[in-house]
Structure 1
Amino acid sequence: MAFLGDTARDILRKTAAGMAFGAALTASRVYQPVIILDQMRLADFTMLKTFLTAVSSSSFIMLLVERAADWKRPVRAGSSMKSGWLSTQYDGNIIGGALIGIGMGLAGACPGTVIIQLAQGIASSRWTLLGALLGGLVHARQKQRTMYRRIPGRPRSPASLASNNLTPSETIMSKFNLSESFVLAAFGAVFAGLVGWSLYSRPYALRIFDPLTGGLLIALAQATSILLTSDTLSASGVYEQVARYFWRGVGSTNAAKPSSPPLAIIFAIGMIAGSLQLSWYAPWLLALDGASATDIPAWRAAVGGFALAYGSRCAGGCTSGHGISGVAALSFSSLVSVASMFTAGILTQAIVS
């Protein structure tokens, strides 16, 4: 691609990374509302198995790339609010993560999976996406007043786990006074346990690929994203980017200037393309028995979508950015966000079921 300019190369690489992620999410089947809702009901653990496999595998992929190339693992700083709703430097992660969990429990979607649901023609996805776009618009409008900010003193550039310049509470290791080797060994133990769990679990009626395979495919998409773009997987930035273009387009100066090219939007388009490509060329991977159909009322999908996008912007990431990528990078703020997501999602389903 030497004949292409830098912008064109960035667009092509981001599109390819999005296609890999979209295809992986589609093949893993965790985009299905019934799988997400059943996880929040604690009725089925397909989503959790897939998630943990993707996280543990991504962690070792990041370690290998970091050791073999000039790349630094993006350890995420905490997301703090000036509103002072909670007396902790991770209030944005807690509140934002809880909103994402509420959205998952209501809509049966995540900020990234709603894009795949739309590509696969799931009826509720249109309302979920509408709510998510509105949530992004509202957050972008309020951002100047709410003033979400990074923790003072935290580096904005990614920090390498191999370096000694990480600030306190930046990583899981520093927060709990653990060695990197111990934490990585724990990830390895989780992966080994998932292999055993997968081997002895009963067959899955909804998919050909089991959660272990699905998680490995998502981790492969993670590797593709890192190698092509030097960036990890994250999907929720599309809602903020769309909102910035909207508010600038109508003459508002409250929202930040949108980036050019809009790589988050391009990544989302790539996700749709990858999902559709898999549907066209490997439809046998997506064969369903009809049990995946879940009727989600329009109001639930829309409210859930709003919570998903607004919450992801408060937390500075979503189930992919904080979950698959942030926890894999051993970021403590991501661990807080994910714990808040699942707790709120389970409680939401307990209320609405």
Structure 2
Amino acid sequence: MTDEETKSRNRREMSKTDVSNNIQNSDKNKASKSSNGIAAPIQIVASILLGIAFGFLMNKTNVYLAPMIREQMIFKRLTMIKMFLGAVGMSMLSVFLLILFNESIYQNVRNGFIHKINRIGAFHLAMGGCLIEVGMVLAGSCPGTIFIQMGSGLPNSFITCIGGICGVLFYYLFLNERLTKQELPKSSIVLQQLPDLMGVKHIYLNLIFGLTFISIAFILEYFFPYKNDLIQSDGFQTLSAWSPALCGVGIGLLQLFFMISFKKSLGISTGFTVIVAQACRVQFFKKLIPSLESFTYGIQNSLTLLFALAAIAGSFISTVSTNQFPLNEKYGANVWSSFFGGFLLLVGARCAGGCTSGQGISGVSHLLIGSLIATAAMFGGGILFAIGYGLITNDWHFYDL
């Protein structure tokens, strides 16, 4: 072998060694950092703390109780709408602050959210929204508050959770491939943002809407104090609560920390998908439901699951601190309503690409037309179903559910 050939072989071996070292270094970096470059241990701690805060605040609003949710749909109680307006308003102000100080981070968050729903058309957004609200009336819960109910020890909340898991399985077995065949064109109305259509800068519209929604929440609180909404009927223990408008503002503020820490929007229903996706670690389920594999591994999926579990812990802390654990079964739904309601909640959340927190709080904060369609369908569908149920059965207190 000539000297030139020897040098050439040495260069090739050195190149292979460099590639191998790069791969090893890359693996180490992936183990220590998440996709957005923040150290994974920091994100884990942040996910747990934010989840606890979310669960604690949701518990303190009492919005996770079945009567609160059901009677909101017939306007007998306003706890839910006050919390929602406060959360959306503060979430919009969180977007305003992030655009003001670091617009590039917000653009990454927004683009990631749009990418998540870029295969879901207007019909499926509306259909999913309606299914969510029908499920909310039946189960007396939304996808996020299932975790809050579990943390409070509410009977049948685990049945609702099982129904939700079955709903995720049903969606990915029979609906996902049919509903998300191809990406929507970028010109699709559901992927457009309201500021672009109006010719107004995002930062201005987020500021205006944010302040308006928060103001409406506190105006409603002033004229309809939350203490008047506390359940005091026979057979119910009166639960302690905080102002839903104020708690909503706190929940909306979590959006800012979510976007900074994880480069993504606040949402919790995906936690059910991550739970179900763990079955894909078994080869049989991996082949049966290949579309779930992307939710099986990775730091972002782990963080989603941690947030959901921490929300259970936050709700538990809130309930135990007031000596109200476990809650009376009358605050929840019966077995069948819990199961079928949970099933519809998660089928709807997957069809719509998010639930009341994902599409309702985060999507609306991004001023996406698709999210506005989904949220309008959520409330509209729930109101129509609740009123229709009341008219047919004359059970306006939903006792039979």
Could you say which residue in structure 2 is the equivalent of 1:95? 127
Bigger shift: residues 144-153 or 40-49? 144-153
- Taking a change above 3 Å as real, the CA distance of residues 66 and 167 of structure 1, as seen in their structure-2 partners, is farther
The number of residue pairs the alignment matches comes to 330
Q: Which range moved further: 180-189 or 296-305?
A: 180-189
Q: How far apart, in 1, do the equivalents of 2:98 and 2:139 lie?
A: 36
Match runs of 1:213-252 below 5 Å: 213-249=246-282, 251-252=284-285
Contact preservation (8 Å) 1:17, 1:228: no
Determine helix, strand or coil for the equivalent of 2:284.
Answer: coil
1:247 Cα deviation after fit: 4.3
Q: CA deviation at 1:39?
A: 0.7
Equivalent-residue separation in structure 2 for 1:223 and 1:125 (angstroms): 30
Once the two structures are TM-superposed, the CA of residue 114 in structure 1 deviates from its matched residue by 0.6
Partner Cα distance (2:382, 2:189) in 1: 31
Kept in 2: contact 1:53–1:191 (CA 8 A): yes
Aligned mates of 1:68, 1:269 — CA distance in 2 = 31
* Contact 1:24-1:221 within 8 A present in 2 as well: no
Per-residue deviation at 1:320? 0.3
Distance verdict in 2 for CA 1:8–1:295, change over 3 Å:
closer
Partner of 1:46: 79
The question of whether the paired residues in 1 share the 8 Å contact of 2:85 and 2:216 is answered with no
Report which stretch shifted further, 208-217 or 49-58: 208-217
Q: Secondary structure at the match of 1:112?
A: helix
Among the aligned pairs, what percent are the same residue?
26
Partner of 2:32: 5
> What code does the residue aligned with 1:93 have?
L
Alpha-carbon shift at residue 168 of structure 1 (Å)? 8.4
1:259-338 aligned at under 5 Å gives the runs 259-261=297-299, 262-280=302-320, 282-283=321-322, 293-294=330-331, 296-338=333-375
1:173 lines up with 2:200 in the alignment: no
Residue in structure 2 matching 1:72, options 91, 106, 125: 106
* Counterpart Cα distance in 2 of 1:186 and 1:99: 27
- The question of whether the paired residues in 1 share the 8 Å contact of 2:83 and 2:217 is answered with no
Cα offset, 1:109, TM superposition: 0.4
Shift of residue 52, structure 1, vs aligned partner: 0.6
Q: CA RMSD in A?
A: 2.9
Between structure 1 and structure 2, the one with the greater Rg is 2
AA aligned to 1:339 is A
Which string of whole-angstrom CA distances, capped at 9 and with x for unpartnered residues, describes residues 267-293 of structure 1? 11111122223334x428x79998x93
CA contact (8 A) 2:143 2:345 kept: yes
- Aligned equivalent of 1:343: 380
**Distance (whole Å) between structure 1 residues aligned to residue 258 and residue 359 of structure 2:** 15
Summarize the Cα distance change of 1:59–1:202 in structure 2 as closer, same or farther, 3 Å threshold: closer
In structure 2, what is the Cα distance between the partners aligned to 1:200 and 1:123?
33
Q: 1:22 to 1:174 in 2, by over 3 A?
A: same
Does structure 2 retain, via aligned residues, the 8 Å contact 1:169–1:332? yes
The 3-state SS of whatever aligns with 1:227 is: helix
Please give the secondary structure, in 2, of the residue aligned with 1:337: helix
Q: Distance in 2 between matches of 1:287 and 1:201?
A: 28
Partner of 1:158: none
Structure number having the greater helix percentage: 2
Give how far 1:295 is off.
5.2
Partner of residue 177 from structure 2, selected from 128, 133, 145: 145
- For the 8 Å contact 1:59–1:328, the answer to whether it is kept is yes
Mapped contact 1:107–1:301 kept (Cα < 8 A):
yes
Runs (4+) of structure 1 exceeding 4 A deviation are 78-81, 166-169, 175-179, 286-290
| Deviation (angstroms), 1:111 | 0.4
CA distance in 1, matches of 2:362, 2:101: 19
Letter in 2 for 1:172: L
Q: Which whole-Å CA distance do the structure 2 matches of 1:271 and 1:111 have between them?
A: 12
Q: How does 1:20-59 map to 2 (within 5 A)?
A: 20-59=53-92
How far is 1:38 from its partner?
A: 1.0
2-structure distance, mates of 1:219, 1:118: 22
Q: What's the offset of the Cα at 1:249? A: 2.3
CA spacing shift, 1:79–1:299, aligned 2, 3 Å: farther
How many angstroms apart in 2 are the aligned matches of 1:63 and 1:232? 14
Shift of 1:203: 5.1
**Once the 2 structures are TM-superposed, how far is the Cα of residue 143 of structure 1 from its aligned partner?**
4.8
- Ranked by relative contact order (alpha carbons within 8 Å, sequence separation 6 or more), the top structure is 1
Equivalent residues of 1:131, 1:301 under 8 A apart = yes
| Contact map agreement 2:119 2:184 (CA 8 A) in 1 | no
- 1:78-117 pair list within 5 angstroms: 78=117, 80=119, 89-117=121-149
- Which has the higher mean CA deviation after the structures are superposed, 127-136 or 189-198? 189-198
